[in-house]
Amino acid sequence: MTKRFQGPSRRTLLTTGAGIAAAAAFPMPAVHAQTKELRFLNGEPAVDSVRALRVAAAQYEKEKGIKVTIDTVPSGDAYTRTVAAIKGGRPYDISTLIFVAHVLTLANEGQLTPITDLVNKHKWGKRILFPVNGQHYWYMYDYNLCWLFYRKDLYEANKLEQPKTWAQLLENCRKLSGSEGGNQRFGMATPVGNNDATNWMSIGYMWAEGVSLFDDSWKNIFASDENKKRTAAYLDFFGEMYKTMPPGMTQASFGQITAAYSSGQAAHAPYAGRLIEILEQRAPKLADSYGMMPYPDSSGKGAAVNHGYDGWVVGKTPMAEEAVKFLEWFSDAHYINFLHSAPLHFQPPRLDIYDDPRWRAHPLIEKHAGAVKTMQGFLDDPNITIRSIDTEGPGPDLRPAKVFESWVFPEMLQNKVLKNMPSQACVEEAVAKMNRVIAG
Amino acid sequence: MRSRYDWVIWTFFWGGLALTALFVGGPVLNAIWLSLHQASSFIAEPKFVGLGNYARVVQEPEFWSAMANGLIYALSAIVLQVVIGIAFAMVLNQPFFGQRLVRGLATLPYLLPTVVVALTFQWLADGSVGLLTVIARDLGLGTIPWFEQPATARASVILASVWLWTPFVTICVLAGLQSIPPALYEAAKVDGAGPVSIFFHVTLPQLKPVLTVVVLLRAIWMFNKFDVIWLLTKGGPLGATEHLPILAYKRAFSLFDVGGGAAVATVSFLILMAAVSTYLWMFPLEEKR
């Protein structure tokens, strides 16, 4: 005889409910009391970087008895995850952040622990520390400078010289455009889409020309006659250079630009050290014949690189003290191991690293010593400007960050190259949008 | 008389209502509350500003262009999805060799994750080596600027959306077609009706209940559709594909304006509510008795 289902009885419901409540109430604090754990949010998902952190975490647990849990997200999602963790009641003890405004926001909301003493133990390169109210919250691991690569082999074959001005660069781009072995080669590949890549890779010429966005009292000086004139000149040049680029640059991001250069499609491309690492993997012949230079200006007097920067912050958590201790422990050998996970891309912001034989011993750093010297030269050369949209102005602030995030400059470029608007009109529109954005 | 299963019905009813209140009502109310406050992030202390965020966002040209872009995108995508979906369903409703296989293949795009479709479409439409680009070039059409110009970028995201979600319409309409009694077609033929007349006077009226629901669902989904546009264009170039959901996201998560983003999202929600209410008033889901 089959028993007819009549649903749970009242007694069953009550006893089950009481059991669940009792189980939920008791064991959790006991577990927390037994385990000391640091939660680390990593924003570098490359397998070597994750491995370097895991090795450090395992060693720290072995030495100090404190477990370090590494969660990994793409760097662009790190801030959202950090905020979600705070809102969810389980903030990270250490987080990766890649945007100065995010550090500012978290610091202003009292969510970060200052690490000024730790930061002050080392000498840092120019424009890489961003103190908030006199305190350091960010331990940087990467400059993320963006400069121009060019094909040295093609330059030699065509008897070209490294350009010092926009006109020379444009001339070289034109000369190197054409057909080679049935494949179309383009002079330059530079993104012009609504993305971070455009903000990072396509604006360096403007910095070289001396354009700036804010003065020391946060006045929008991009709107000044001098800056508008310089920017219009940059747009005239960019509009001509765009004609030497492959189609699809509005969709291009980091990957497409490295692909365009490493596949031989483009003779010039902006990027950081990652491109050399990619060439080593995918196009070893090109890895032996690249040249590097900062973004030139119109007259040959100025030059610039655009910087990105990445670093770690310590949250305001019950484990903050332990987190600072971990970071201090990590900042020696494991910091170098981590930098080695992208040896040419993670350009050290700490100046002592350049002289550290442990760092210099990496095979790629040894092989590309010339490139490393050039990268270091970007920091040492007083004639080279290091700027980025989001770090413009006298200190960390949301205004330049909003200008960055609202695609003011990518859209200025799009107005020029997609709509063929006169350069002056493109600049006026950018000024208007910038004013709207910073007022909002 | 009370059924012995009453408690099951009431459990599901109250359970469903509680879950809806928690996961739908809660976020909606939270968004409305946030839209009345100013905050630079989700962890910042919100400052009450009343309707200030609404007044601010509706004064900005980006809001109105996002609204227009959203309407163009949603209406174009819905019309194309419904027309093509009906056409596909009618073909798939006919007996032919391999019908089952083709029916299965026809649903394939709908089964794929949006991110896969977007990345595939991006590669297909790559300006240099994309398959669609190369085919167009070989056909003598030149290099089509899929995402390079505002108009083509709009058309491209609509095309991707149509490719992705037309199978949903096809499946629903196919189910509707199979429920139409064959006697109606036979009677129409006896009366001398041709294929076009049969379609407009038998098929379409019989499909009305299905189409009412399909259009409603597609309208809601397309007006709120975020992922495919974000993955393909991030709202560019020149804001040509930026619609209200993208504007709301950018404000809240990129531009340090949580209140402004919530205000845009709330306005978008109210517009959709009004549109859905009007639609249901014009095309009630249940026939009036």
A353 has a chain B CB within 8 A of its CB: no
Q: Closest residue of B to A86, CA-based?
A: B43
Per CB-CB distance under 8 Å, the chain B contacts of A415 are 238
Q: A105 and B41 in contact by Cβ < 8 A?
A: yes
Beta bridge partners of A147: A271
Whole-number pLDDT of residue A21: 54
Give the residue from B173, B160, B169 showing the smallest Cα distance to B112: B160
Residue contact B4–A411, C-beta within 8 A: no
Within chain A, all domains assigned CATH 3.40.190.10 are found at: 35-142+310-379, 147-307+388-439
CA distance A260 to A149: 12
- In A, minimum Cα distance to B56 occurs at A440
Pairing of strands A94-97, A37-42: parallel
Report the residue of A196, A251, A398, A413 to disrupt the B interface, i.e. the one with the largest count of B CBs within 10 Å.
A251
pLDDT at A182: 75
Residue B237 touches chain A, beta carbons under 8 Å: yes
Q: What pLDDT is stored for residue B107 in this prediction?
A: 84
CA atoms of A15 and A33, how far apart (whole Å): 29
- Taking CB atoms and an 8 Å cutoff, what residues of chain B touch A406? 250, 254-255
Chain A CB contacts of B236 under 8 Å are 193-194, 250, 407, 410-411, 414
Task: Answer whether A247 touches B (CB < 8 Å).
Answer: yes
Residue range B97-131, pLDDT digits in tens = 888 898 888 888 888 898 998 888 888 888 777 89
> With a CB-CB cutoff of 8 Å, which residues 315-344 of chain A face chain B?
none
- Contact check, Cβ <8 Å, A411/B250: no
Q: Give me the residues of A, 183-202, that contact B with CB < 8 A.
A: 184, 192-195
For helices B204-224 and B61-92, what crossing angle results, to 10°? 140
| Alpha carbons B276 and B222: distance in angstroms, whole number | 13
- For residue B144, the chain A residue with the least C-alpha distance is A247
Closest-CA distance of chain B to residue A408, Å: 10
Quickly tell me which residue has 């804001």 as its tokens: B239
Give Cα separations from A304 to A186, A206, A267 (angstroms). 23, 8, 20
Interatomic CA distance for residues B47 and A325, integer angstroms = 37
Q: What is the dihedral of CA A221, A227, A228, A230, to 10 degrees?
A: -170
Burial A261-282 (b: 16+ CB within 10 A, else e): bbbbbbbbbbbbbbbbbbbbee
For residue B147, the model assigns a pLDDT of: 87
Pairing relationship of beta strands A266-271 and A183-188 according to DSSP bridges: parallel
Residue A5's pLDDT is what? Answer: 45
* DSSP single-letter state for residue B279: H
CATH of B55-282, one of 1.10.3860.10, 1.10.3720.10, 2.40.30.10, 2.60.40.420: 1.10.3720.10
pLDDT at B112: 87
pLDDT in tens, chain A (440 residues): 344 445 555 555 555 555 555 555 444 444 444 568 999 999 999 999 999 999 999 999 999 999 999 999 999 899 999 999 999 999 999 999 999 999 999 999 999 999 999 999 999 999 999 999 999 999 999 999 999 999 999 999 999 999 999 999 999 999 999 987 778 899 999 999 999 999 999 999 999 999 999 999 999 999 999 999 999 999 999 999 999 999 889 888 899 999 999 999 999 999 999 999 999 999 999 999 999 999 999 999 999 999 989 999 999 999 999 999 999 999 988 999 999 999 999 999 999 999 999 999 999 999 999 999 999 999 999 999 999 999 999 999 999 999 999 999 999 999 999 999 999 999 999 999 999 999 87
The secondary structure element, H or E, covering residue B83 is helix B61-92
Nearest-5° angle of CA B222, CA B150, CA B153? 50
Taking Cα atoms as reference points, which of B161, B173, B180 lies closest to residue B213? B173
Position A92 scores a pLDDT of 97
Q: Residue A401: what pLDDT?
A: 95
Q: How far is B44 from chain A (nearest CA, A)?
A: 6
Chain A contact set for B253 (CB, 8 A) = 80
Residue contact A418–B237, C-beta within 8 A: yes
CATH number of this structure's domain A147-307+388-439: 3.40.190.10
> Reduced to 3 states, what is the DSSP secondary structure of residue A342?
coil
Gap between the Cα atoms of A273 and A375, Å rounded: 9
Whether B171 shows a pLDDT value over 90: the answer reads: yes
Q: What is the pLDDT of residue A227?
A: 97
Contact A106/B at CB under 8 A: yes
Question: Residue B255: its chain A contacts at CB < 8 A?
Answer: 402, 405-406, 437, 440
The answer to whether B13 contacts chain A (CB < 8 Å) is no
pLDDT of residue A4: 47
Mean pLDDT of chain B: 90
CATH class of the domain comprising A35-142+310-379: alpha beta
pLDDT for res A29: 45
* Collapsed DSSP state (helix, strand, coil) of residue B37: strand
